[in-house]
Amino acid sequence: MQKIAVIGAGTMGNGIAHVFAQHGFTVNLVDVSAPALDKALQTITRNLDRQVTKGSITEEVKAGTLANISLQTDLAAGVKDVYLVVEAATENISLKLKIFQDLDQHAPANAILATNTSSISITKIAAATKRPDKVIGMHFMNPVPVMKLVEIINGYATDKSITTAIVALSEKLEKVPCVVNDYPGFIANRILMPMINEAICSLFEGVAGVAEIDTVMKLGMAHPMGPLQLADFIGLDVCLSIMQVLHDGFGNPKYAPCPLLVNMVTAGYLGVKSGEGFYKYT
Ligand code: CAA
């Protein structure tokens, strides 16, 4: 179980590669963009430096972690001899279906294919492969090196032995696995996103300002970030797409995305990644 591949070198992909490599796994980090891979390695190095400064890891662990990571732009070569693939590409269904068809073709026949999707149906992704019993959701939280949870999502056809293996693997990463079933938003985003959407609706309706809404939730409920700051951190486009998945999947108007969220995404105000959302980032 020592060699794995991570597909996608964005925020989640580099965090997932970091955590596996730090726990002794050999990781092929795969992305079509070579500059994205270089940027990911810089981010991992910066985050490891932060851990060294805090004293939570040594310089030797940092060096070992970096030595465990190989960068790869060719998907077929990156997955050809791995036990597990964790896909963390952009949250776009047609892209993910295509990636899973390719993974099915190029990864070893017994390899487990996991996806870090935050809301796309695991069952639908699994159906794009000839091994739906070996497809599972492995949903890490951002920032991956810090957050303890791995939400493990069983697709309709996921074999129990695969779930057991992924639970054990998550524990090896010093994470806390939680097994749930494949319905829209799973558990994390079925509960988190309506809260964020409600915070945006409260702002939209003029009930309170950005600072007040976030302060109420931070100081009143001991959340580390207020819901509007968290929305900026996650990306407003991601929040909108998850609300749309909940709305379409349950057909219930309580999941309708707030019109302010729709407007902000249309205007390109996506939060931290675009430089402005509910707050400004310089
Ligand atoms: N890598 C390594 N370590 C990191 C890090 C990173 N990327 N980011 C932060 N840290 C470490 C810091 O070094 C620090 O370590 P110590 O506790 O040892 O000092 C610790 O994390 C806290 O960091 P900071 O002091 O810099 O800042 P903070 O106290 O404000 O915490 C935070 C930052 C951990 C992000 C905190 O604000 C938080 O928990 N926010 C909420 C995060 C959250 O809800 N994530 C889930 C989002 S939803 C999702 O991911 C799934 C989805 O599908 C949308």
At 101-120, the pLDDT tens digits run 999 999 999 999 999 999 99
Ligand 1 centroid vs 182 CA: distance in angstroms?
Answer: 27
Query: What ligand 1 atom has the least distance to the C-alpha of 189?
Result: 53
What does pTM read for this prediction? Answer: 0.95
Instruction: Give the binding-site residues of ligand 1, using a 6 Å CB cut-off.
Output: 47, 50-51, 54, 56, 118, 141-143, 145-147, 188-189, 224-225, 230, 234
Ligand 1 centroid vs 226 CA: distance in angstroms?
Answer: 13
Length of the chain: 282
3-181 CATH pick, 3.10.580.10, 3.40.50.720, 3.40.50.10490, 3.90.1300.10: 3.40.50.720
Domain residue ranges of the chain, discontinuous segments joined by +: 3-181, 188-273
Ligand 1 centroid vs 146 CA: distance in angstroms?
Answer: 6
Return the residue whose CA atom lies nearest to atom 4 of ligand 1.
146
pLDDT, mean over the chain: 97
First-last CA distance in the chain: 42
The average pLDDT across 32-41 equals 98
Long-range contacts of 273-280 (CB under 8 A, 24+ apart): 273/235, 277/228, 277/231, 277/232, 277/236, 278/203, 278/210, 278/228, 278/229, 278/231, 278/232, 279/210, 279/228, 279/229, 279/232
In degrees and rounded to multiples of 5, residue 91 shows phi and psi of -80, 75
pLDDT at 282: 86
Q: Tell me: the pLDDT tens digits for 138-190? A: 999 999 999 999 999 999 999 999 999 999 999 999 999 999 999 999 999 99
Return the residue whose CA atom lies nearest to atom 26 of ligand 1.
50
- Cα–Cα distance for residue pair 25/212, rounded to 1 Å: 44
Ligand 1 centroid vs 218 CA: distance in angstroms?
Answer: 15
Beta strands in the chain (DSSP E): 3-7, 26-30, 69-72, 84-87, 112-115, 135-140, 149-154, 176-181
Query: What ligand 1 atom has the least distance to the C-alpha of 18?
Result: 1
Please tell me the class of the 188-273 domain.
mainly alpha
Closest by Cα among 66, 60, 104, 61 to 85: 104
Residue 56: CB partners within 8 Å, gap ≥ 6?
none
- Residue 62 and residue 48 in contact, taking contact as beta carbons nearer than 8 Å: yes
Catalytic residues: 118, 139, 151, 189
- Cα–Cα distance for residue pair 201/262, rounded to 1 Å: 11
Q: Which two tokens stand for residue 60?
A: 């030797």
